[in-house]
């Protein structure tokens, strides 16, 4: 099993293996590495990954419902139209990460996505064009081998910064690509690794 930790439910995962990490385990099992093509969902994931900067993913994931409530379920037009007063009020909202720059970047990124839609038709088309529409499937033996960034994330990060996006450094963007399935980094031994479904224990 390449040294992976077996979860209390008997499954080996890349992360979310410990007791009490149910949200992480569910995210790993149902979202991480799964291709996303819906612009609203892509905006949500970009926002959450940017909010993670300096924090753990588990902390941000546990605030997901708070983010959806604060930012109109990630409706691009509604977030793009939020006023400074509305954004300032969110600095007192315990349901999100109350960093002023991160809060304001959400509105800025909504506007940047709307601009990308004008040039590319959708945020989805823009992002997936960097991988020719096909997920990049890696074959790492352990989670420790998974890089924090790559030449691809460097390239996408640079282009997004040029387009006015914020909190899109290469490390954030690589995590974003993993989260939306542009990159599949499920490692050897993980039950979600391609072809690994047979490792799931039988029901009951």
Please give the DSSP secondary-structure letter assigned to residue 122. S
* Cα pseudo-dihedral 96, 66, 169, 88, rounded to 10: -50
The CA R_g of the chain, rounded to the nearest whole Å, is: 17
Q: Which of 32, 49, 126, 174 is catalytic?
A: 49
- Residue 53 CB: number of other CB atoms within 10 A? 16
Q: Which of 32, 44, 57, 126 is catalytic?
A: 57
Q: Whose CA is closest to 16, among 63, 57, 74?
A: 57
Whether residue 104 lies in the annotated active site: no
- Residue 180 CB: number of other CB atoms within 10 A? 26
C-alpha to C-alpha distance for 116 and 42, rounded to whole angstroms: 13
Whether residue 49 lies in the annotated active site: yes
Q: Whose CA is closest to 46, among 182, 140, 147, 150?
A: 182
The half-sphere exposure of 16 on its side-chain side, counting CA atoms within 13 A, is 25
Whether residue 57 lies in the annotated active site: yes
C-alpha to C-alpha distance for 23 and 42, rounded to whole angstroms: 19
> Which positions ≥6 away from 145 have C-beta within 8 Å?
187
Active-site residue list: 27, 49, 57
């Amino acid at each position: 099993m390449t040294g992976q930790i077996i979860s209390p439910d008997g499954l080996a995962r890349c992360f979310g293996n410990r007791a009490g990490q149910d949200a992480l385990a569910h995210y790993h099992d149902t979202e991480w590495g799964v291709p996303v093509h819906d612009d609203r969902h892509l905006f949500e994931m970009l926002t959450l990954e940017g909010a993670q900067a300096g924090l753990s993913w588990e902390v941000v994931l546990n605030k997901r419902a708070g983010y959806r409530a604060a930012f109109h379920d990630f409706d691009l037009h509604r977030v793009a139209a939020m006023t400074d007063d509305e954004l300032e009020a969110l600095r007192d909202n315990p349901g999100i990460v109350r960093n002023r720059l991160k809060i304001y970047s959400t509105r800025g990124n909504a506007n940047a996505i709307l601009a990308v839609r004008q040039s590319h038709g959708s945020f989805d088309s823009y992002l997936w064009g960097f991988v020719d529409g096909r997920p990049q499937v890696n074959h790492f033996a352990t989670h420790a081998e998974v890089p924090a960034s790559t030449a691809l994330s460097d390239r996408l990060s640079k282009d997004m910064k040029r387009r006015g996006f914020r909190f899109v450094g290469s490390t954030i963007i690589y995590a974003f690509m993993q989260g939306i399935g542009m990159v599949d980094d499920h490692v050897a031994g993980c039950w979600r690794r391609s072809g690994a479904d047979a490792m799931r224990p039988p029901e009951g």
